[in-house]
Amino acid sequence: MSGDFVTRFAPSPTGDLHRGHAFSALTAHQAARDAGGRFLLRIEDIDRTRSRPEFEAAIPEDLAWLGLAWEEPVRRQSDHMSDYGRALRDLAERGLLYRCFRTRREIALAIESAPHGAMEAFRGTPLPAAEEARRVEAGEAYAWRLSLDAASRVLCGFDDLTFIDRDRGEVAARPELGGDVVLGRKDVGVAYHLAVVVDDALQGVTEVIRGEDLFEAAHVQRLLQALLGLPTPAYRHHSLITGPDGRRFAKRDGAQTLRALREAGMTAQALRRELGFT
Ligand code: GLU
């Protein structure tokens, strides 16, 4: 079909890949093949404390075992922190971010006491300038949060924000679902949503194919694309693979990692077939 189709598989090296990852990677790879497009691999390792070299090294091994091929060079997020830093500064200079000094515990309490309780995503307010300056001066740690209020002012509301989801059609983005998301983490300086949006644009990704658990992320990411003037890819959120107990696979299910399955004698062909690929 078209050579303009570019998709990616973007695992975080914080554990071994499991069946769920295999399904995701196979789905994206197959879609690229069907479209005559390109399949990229991206290592999402901005969290340097949770990412481990041994998990990173296992990713290409596991994917090659599955029979997948991807383009080189592989983009590794930790090698490009300045790209994300630049986007963060751009948003901050335009008044779209605010510093948040709250701890996790304080955020949880703030959400609990909000009018709709746990239903509510966190929305904060910038501190008065003098207090903020004092706390920065005192060396207190802070995160940068996206201000939905400021974003809404700049874009005159979110009504024009839509994205294509291949299964749902045109979706109206509702970034309120995510609240004032953190774009610059206290510990590592940047955060998931920002890095993903910057990378998808830089890598020319036209189709984001990933699990249904990230559907809500698309709403926030669509907003960031609008604020940063980046193109919006189409999205496809596949359903999650579950185990016999109906629970989705997670990194804690050691027996379902591709490494464990391989060591237990399973062939890649058998796994592909089980997951619905030939
Ligand atoms: N790195 C994310 C994960 O492993 C995936 C991000 C994405 O596909 O947008 O869950």
9-24 tens-digit pLDDT: 999 999 999 999 999 9
| Contact (CB, 8 A) for 57 and 16 | no
Q: Which atom of ligand 1 is nearest to the CA of 44?
A: 1
Tokens 């990412």 locate to 51
Residue-wise over 215-224: b if at least 16 C-beta within 10 A, else e? bebbbbbbbb
**Residue to mutate, 76, 196, 202, 225, ligand 1, most ligand atoms under 8 Å from C-beta:** 196
**Residue 186 is among the residues annotated as catalytic for this protein:** no
Give this prediction's pTM: 0.93
Ligand 1 mean position to 41 CA, how many Å? Answer: 11
Task: Say how far apart CA 221 and CA 208 lie, in whole Å.
Answer: 11
Residue-wise over 106-123: b if at least 16 C-beta within 10 A, else e? ebeeebeeeeeeeeebbe
The pair of three-digit structure tokens given for residue 147, joined into one six-digit string: 């201000």
pLDDT 10s digits, 99-123: 999 988 888 888 888 766 655 788 9
Please list the alpha-helical segments (H only) found in 159-257: 192-202, 215-228
Residue 107 pLDDT: 87
Please determine, for residue 74, whether its predicted confidence score (pLDDT) is greater than 60. yes
Q: Is the dihedral of CA 214, 11, 272, 28 positive or negative?
A: positive
pLDDT 10s digits, 139-173: 999 999 999 999 999 999 999 999 999 999 999 99
| Contact (CB, 8 A) for 202 and 83 | yes
Please determine, for residue 1, whether its predicted confidence score (pLDDT) is greater than 50. no
Ligand 1 mean position to 124 CA, how many Å? Answer: 26
pLDDT 10s digits, 172-218: 999 999 999 999 999 999 999 999 999 999 999 999 999 999 999 99
3-state secondary structure of 196: helix
> Which residue out of 75, 166, 248, 251 is catalytically annotated?
251
Across 80-107, average pLDDT: 96
Please enumerate in sequence order all residues whose Cβ is within 8 A of that of 247, keeping only pairs 6 or more positions apart, or say none: none
pLDDT band at 77 (very low <50, low <70, confident <90, very high): very high
Residue 136 pLDDT: 96
Helices (H) and strands (E) in the chain, counts: 10, 10
∠ CA 101-103-109, nearest 5°, is 115
pLDDT 10s digits, 127-145: 999 999 999 999 999 999 9
What are the structural domains of the chain?
1-79+242-278 (3.40.50.620), 81-200 (3.90.800.10)
Residue 278 pLDDT: 84
Please determine, for residue 234, whether its predicted confidence score (pLDDT) is greater than 50. yes
Residue 243 pLDDT: 77
Q: Which atom of ligand 1 is nearest to the CA of 14?
A: 4
Residue 249 pLDDT: 73
Residue 154 pLDDT: 97
